[in-house]
Amino acid sequence: MSSVDSYVQGAPCWIDLVTTDVDSARTFYSGLFGWSYDDYPMPGSAGEMTYYMSTIDGRNVAGLMQQAPEMVGDAPSWQTYIAVDDAEAAAERVAEEGGTVLFPVDEIPGSGRMTIAFDTAGAKFGLWQTIGHIGSAVVNQHGAPIWHELQAPDPAAAAAFYSAVMGVEPKTADVGGIPYTELFASGKSSAGIMPKQDADQPSMWLVYLGADNPDETAARAAELGGTVLQPAFDIPGIGRMAVLADPQGVVFAVMRGES
């Protein structure tokens, strides 16, 4: 297990799933990764909405919640949250750099300050300033976040946006014939940006979860009602991965890294 006690600004720190059927999703991901769940009634929801915190060995991994009535019609998705030192200041920079902030920064008592935003190409992401909840407390193992990747129409423009907002340093290299940009937060590689492979595909952050055996995890996902969008394949020097969708159609990837 790789435990995490803190995140630097610019590093993806948390993921959560907003879905059309949270009970089905909980069953699926528990069956796939062995997640357990802690239940948290959401403030202001009069007990009608619950935020489910998935855990591995008692440590937080990800969040799951039912899509709110006002969000009906939006595609369910995994969301990547990026750590910031000051959520209000980061939200201001998002707007200054041409992005869109969906709502004013909100405080979750005892946990953190957050908002959701879109970058200049329409990819959704979250800003998270910790107060008590740092984000994913375990990473880089089976069922825990292992990588975050933005698929964008113009990777250079996307890199410039996140660099201006978060202070991350972009570095681009050729990976399998595709220009791939890594974003470095405080000198450590923390996320990637690659060109969209399909013009009709929306710009999006793709969440990668660890899998000891991506082939077996893909097969298990299908047994649980999910879909294998791309069977397991190798990228030399990087690892073995597969692209899947859960029963509600939410896309995510699984990966066993080489290092």
Residues 212 and 241 in one domain: yes
Residues 209 and 114 in one domain: no
pLDDT of residue 236: 87
pLDDT of residue 17: 98
pLDDT digits (tens, 9 = 90+) for 166-199: 999 999 998 878 899 999 999 999 999 999 988 7
Task: With respect to residue 91, please indicate whether it lies within any of the assigned structural domains.
Answer: yes
Rounded Cα–Cα distance for residues 254 and 193 (Å)? 17
Q: Do residues 114 and 74 touch, judged by C-beta distance below 8 A?
A: no
What's the burial of 45, exposed, middle or buried (CB within 10 Å: 0-12/13-18/19+)?
exposed
pLDDT of residue 73: 58
Q: For the domain that residue 215 is a member of, what is the CATH number?
A: 3.10.180.10
Residues 197 and 246 in one domain: yes
Q: Do residues 204 and 123 touch, judged by C-beta distance below 8 A?
A: yes
Task: With respect to residue 251, please indicate whether it lies within any of the assigned structural domains.
Answer: yes
Residues 150 and 67 in one domain: no
Task: With respect to residue 117, please indicate whether it lies within any of the assigned structural domains.
Answer: yes
Task: With respect to residue 137, please indicate whether it lies within any of the assigned structural domains.
Answer: no
Residues 157 and 118 in one domain: no
Residues 121 and 154 in one domain: no
Please state the φ and ψ torsions of residue 31, each to the nearest 5 degrees.
Answer: -70, -30
Is residue 233 pLDDT above 60, yes or no?
A: yes
Residues 225 and 203 in one domain: yes
Is residue 232 pLDDT above 70, yes or no?
A: yes
DSSP string, 214-248: HHHHHHHHHHTT-EEEEEEEEETTTEEEEEEE-TT
Task: With respect to residue 160, please indicate whether it lies within any of the assigned structural domains.
Answer: yes
Average pLDDT over residues 71-76: 72
Residues 220 and 154 in one domain: yes
Residues 149 and 231 in one domain: yes
Rounded Cα–Cα distance for residues 191 and 156 (Å)? 14
Task: With respect to residue 238, please indicate whether it lies within any of the assigned structural domains.
Answer: yes
pLDDT band at 66 (very low <50, low <70, confident <90, very high): very high
Q: List the domain range (segments joined by +) for residue 20.
A: 11-130
Task: With respect to residue 166, please indicate whether it lies within any of the assigned structural domains.
Answer: yes
pLDDT of residue 217: 98
Provide the 8-state DSSP code for 67. Answer: P
Is residue 15 pLDDT above 80, yes or no?
A: yes
Residues 55 and 125 in one domain: yes
Residues 16 and 117 in one domain: yes
Vertex 76, ends 75 and 82: CA angle to 5°? 110
Q: How many domains does the chain divide into?
A: 2
Residues 118 and 16 in one domain: yes
Task: With respect to residue 4, please indicate whether it lies within any of the assigned structural domains.
Answer: no
